[in-house]
Structure 1
């Protein structure tokens, strides 16, 4: 009986010792925190429109004498232009000089050419730049109404950066010449042109 109790006590002591040893080797599990979500914010990829540019244009013109209504004519236009734009980030401001030859005549009156001094205000939409433009224009005529006079014009256009140095675009302009060259005639012209420019 004593041996049985002694054996039981020894077994119990060994069991408690083994349990303590095992418990001492157990560590609390380490749980790694979940990674924080990363927000992806789209960034607008704009282009820098700042710089000088120069190029040419081909287009179409409609001209008329509006007061009194005496003639209407249409024909081709062609021209050269040069200017400078400054990109403020999303707003582009610039100036341009342009001269366009006209192949427009009616009633013995020839619209020979128009020279323009432009202000342009545009929006930097990446590779695209829509803009508005206005300024002064000088019309030269020949034939039965030979002379020249300065009027105003306004219009809209758009440029597209084909490469870092090549722009293509289009423009529509409305011209008004009141009392042209003191003749008492009011002349108007609308032009639409395709343009190509090299940016420096």
Structure 2
């Protein structure tokens, strides 16, 4: 019995020594999943024939079309990276790709205008986030099996957005945006090593994307096509992600 206990203690000590020798240095691959929520504010500028309308009507249309959206949803992905342990301080880099399902839409109306009570408008605004790719550096401190770090770098996200306006007088416009937006991503994380090359981690990440803009166009059947009324939408997009993941070091 004593001999068996001695073997178990020795194996445990050797395992701890091996981890201390290697630290957090090495390549790793893993998967993660979590939840994202953000803000996307759309601001509308009117042009063209809108200049012939009263200031009161223009102000109402701008206010109704300028929506503040709060997209939210889930996401999951894969990560691949490398850490180097400098005796406690750890420097690393990570490439990850996430599949997002984060969106929000808003419909306002029909709403009668105060300038012309017989005239009402309905507006819509929507935003959707899809694939995200990020390349970040990591800098942190490791104590035995615990690793806390800050991370930051470049990101790119597939974004779809749309805005439209219709009236009971036959006015019908819709505009859309679909492209990959560049931005920055930064945050904090904690990782715990279970041994046998497996670890689990939790992260908070903030993503700030470049602003984007697009114009509406007349829909088929619109009774107003000339003189041209124009609406330009300028929109921003930022979101937070909280996620957990597992890594395998090799």
TM-score of the superposed pair, with normalisation by structure 1: 0.73
Give 1:149 deviation, angstroms.
Answer: 1.2
Moved >6 Å (runs of 4+): none
**Paired residue secondary structure (2:238):** strand
Q: 1:98 corresponds to which residue?
A: 96
1:129 partnered with 2:147: yes
Figure out how many residues of one structure are paired with residues of the other and give that number.
157
* Secondary structure of 1:58 counterpart: strand
Q: Which residue of 2 aligns with 1:141?
A: 159
Deviation for aligned residue 1:143: 5.3
- Name the CA shift for 1:181/1:197 in 2 (closer, same or farther; >3 Å): farther
Counterpart among 189, 192, 195 of residue 242 in structure 2: 192
Unaligned runs of 5+ in 2: 1-16, 44-66, 106-125, 163-176, 215-232
C-alpha distance in structure 1 between counterparts of 2:212 and 2:246, whole Å: 31
2:191 to 133, 137, 159: 159
| Relative contact order higher in (CA < 8 Å, ≥ 6 apart) | 2
- Output the CA distance in 2 between the equivalents of 1:192 and 1:159: 14
Aligned with residue 83 of structure 2, among 64, 82, 85: 85
Residue ranges of structure 1 left out of the alignment (5+ in a row): 1-43
CA contact (8 A) 1:52 1:83 kept: yes
Q: Which has more strand, going by share of residues?
A: 2
Q: What is the CA deviation profile of residues 3-57 of structure 1, one whole-angstrom value per residue up to 9, with x for unaligned ones?
A: xxxxxxxxxxxxxxxxxxxxxxxxxxxxxxxxxxxxxxxxx98461000000100
Measured on the aligned residues, the alpha-carbon RMSD in Å equals 2.0
What is the TM-score of this pair, normalised by structure 2? 0.59
Asked if the contact 2:79/2:94 (under 8 Å) is kept, the reply is yes
